[in-house]
Amino acid sequence: MVATPKPVSSVEFWYEFASTYSYLSAMRIEAAAAEAGVAITWRPFLLGPIFAGQGWTTSPFNLYPAKGRYMWRDMERSAAAAGLPFRRPDPFPQNTLLAARLALIGAQEGWVAPFSRAVYTAEFGEGRDVSKAETLVPLLDGLGLAGQQLVARARADEAIKNRLKIVTEDAQRHGIFGAPSFVTADGELFWGNDRLDEALAWAAGTHDGASARR
Amino acid sequence: MVATPKPVSSVEFWYEFASTYSYLSAMRIEAAAAEAGVAITWRPFLLGPIFAGQGWTTSPFNLYPAKGRYMWRDMERSAAAAGLPFRRPDPFPQNTLLAARLALIGAQEGWVAPFSRAVYTAEFGEGRDVSKAETLVPLLDGLGLAGQQLVARARADEAIKNRLKIVTEDAQRHGIFGAPSFVTADGELFWGNDRLDEALAWAAGTHDGASARR
């Protein structure tokens, strides 16, 4: 008899490059998923269109000053607790259209995870402007990729532009309204870096809330 | 030599009776605080005036439907994981003015914690309407208090009404914008049931983010 390998559960990691708490998740998700025995699919998307649908023209952390002040302090504490550098980028939020398009190419070509971590480190670890090709090209080159060519493709390729629109609609179908979000294969949505471990436990079938399964 | 007892750190627990996630914190905070060696001060307040200051006329979970749908599902899961009953009250949010005034009397007289737990259990464990005196009087009576008299006092006593206004201003001075919130003696603000353990660890001096101390 041949043993059938247990199928690996998976979790979709939905993130927006402008999102501070997505930075915390991006830097720890692979290790946490490996420990839980869960596979991760990286799903870059844009929050802008979703926020616009709620009548917001910028980040809620800018719209609601008390919430914004709290978030920056909380990020400072949370990054320190995670052993991560943290520096507030200016402006906030950053325009992440180019980075998101590049990440979608990376998802097709297998380098989305290291690219995304590099973007987050530049943006929130070093406070750099990741809206600019000048920032992104060296990050891509540093991963052994052809940075200039990829940026040119991200700017021109209609298929990539369309894919980003479809991805954002897909996010809305999942009920996503913020980032980071985690979606399990059975459609459970978890929102926020604080819910990463619950999402992994849900996917692995080891969570405490078994009676809440639909 | 006489050993000087170590001073006990304390955390203020700011909660609103209409807040779903405050229910989760109220039911576990005393055990968690005892384990951390931290004292808790129960600080009932009203979110309504704070939300109104942000231009909101109701709960953000009603204003933003995707966020609301998520919250109810997340509460279902979180309550199940905590072993707590959960039932959605109608209407939501509840008018919590009378309950908050009663809790302020309880804070003066030493029964604020059991009263608050009883209100939350009625509201979110049993889905009952806690805006009404008919609901609150038996809860008070069940604690061995004079329910009818306390409700009459909560409705008439100008000092209690004024105290609630001062408390809400105090919340805003702390930078509070949601509930539950936790404030340490050195002024650190933590927001959300997910931050209760960090708040206690901060107060006890056992947290991981020591380098983030101001």
Taking contacts as CB-CB distances below 8 angstroms, the residues of chain B near A68 are none
A73 touches chain B (CB under 8 A): yes
Domains, in order of start, for chain A: 10-212 (3.40.30.10)
- In percent, how much of chain A has pLDDT > 90? 84
pLDDT of residue B3: 61
A175 touches chain B (CB under 8 A): yes
Tell me the three-class secondary structure of chain A, residue by residue.
Answer: CCCCCCCCEEEEEEECCCCHHHHHHHHHHHHHHHHHCEEEEEEECCCHHHHHHCCCCCCHHHHCHHHHHHHHHHHHHHHHHHCCCCCCCCCCCCCCHHHHHHHHHHHHHCCHHHHHHHHHHHHHHCCCCCCCHHHHHHHHHHCCCCHHHHHHHHHHCHHHHHHHHHHHHHHHHCCCCCCCEEEECCCCEEECHHHHHHHHHHHHCCCCCHHHCC
B19, B22, B78, B131: the active-site residue: B19
Is-catalytic flag, B59? no
Q: Do A67 and B178 touch (CB under 8 A)?
A: yes
Q: What is the pLDDT of residues A146-163, one digit of tens each?
A: 999 999 999 999 999 999
pLDDT of residue A73: 97
- By DSSP bridging, strand A9-15 and strand A38-44 are parallel
Q: Do B77 and A191 touch (CB under 8 A)?
A: no
| Residue of chain B whose alpha carbon sits nearest to that of A190 | B74
Q: What is the pLDDT of residues B5-14, one digit of tens each?
A: 666 799 999 9
| Residue B22 CB neighbour total at 10 angstroms | 26
Taking contacts as CB-CB distances below 8 angstroms, the residues of chain A near B212 are 76-77, 79-81
Q: What is the pLDDT of residues B169-182, one digit of tens each?
A: 999 999 999 999 99
Q: Do A194 and B192 touch (CB under 8 A)?
A: yes
- A116 CA: distance to closest CA in chain B (Å): 25
Q: What is the pLDDT of residues B58-79, one digit of tens each?
A: 888 888 899 999 999 999 999 9
- A91 CA: distance to closest CA in chain B (Å): 23
Q: Do B175 and A70 touch (CB under 8 A)?
A: yes
Taking a C-beta distance cutoff of 8 angstroms, is the pair B12, B182 a contact?
yes
DSSP classification of residue B186: T
A9, A10, A19, A59: the active-site residue: A19
Q: What is the pLDDT of residues A199-213, one digit of tens each?
A: 999 999 987 654 455
Distance of CA B158 to the CA centre of its chain: 23
Name A67's Cβ contacts closer than 8 Å, sequence gap at least 6: A60, A61, B177, B178
Does the model's ipTM exceed the 0.95 cut? Answer: no
Determine the 3-state secondary structure of B43 from DSSP. strand
pLDDT of residue B53: 84
Q: How far is the C-alpha of B95 from the C-alpha of B72, rounded, in Å?
A: 19
Residue B4's pLDDT band (boundaries 50, 70, 90)?
low
Taking contacts as CB-CB distances below 8 angstroms, the residues of chain B near A195 are 74
A170 touches chain B (CB under 8 A): no
Q: Do B67 and A177 touch (CB under 8 A)?
A: yes
Q: What is the pLDDT of residues B74-128, one digit of tens each?
A: 999 999 999 999 999 999 999 999 999 999 999 999 999 999 999 999 999 999 9
Residue A1's pLDDT band (boundaries 50, 70, 90)?
low
Which H helix or E strand runs over B171?
helix B158-173
Taking a C-beta distance cutoff of 8 angstroms, is the pair B169, B45 a contact?
no
Q: What is the pLDDT of residues A120-147, one digit of tens each?
A: 999 999 999 999 999 999 999 999 999 9
Q: Do A208 and B177 touch (CB under 8 A)?
A: no
Taking a C-beta distance cutoff of 8 angstroms, is the pair B183, B174 a contact?
yes
Q: What is the pLDDT of residues B18-32, one digit of tens each?
A: 999 999 999 999 999
pLDDT of residue A2: 60
- In percent, how much of chain A has pLDDT > 70? 93
| Residue of chain B whose alpha carbon sits nearest to that of A54 | B64
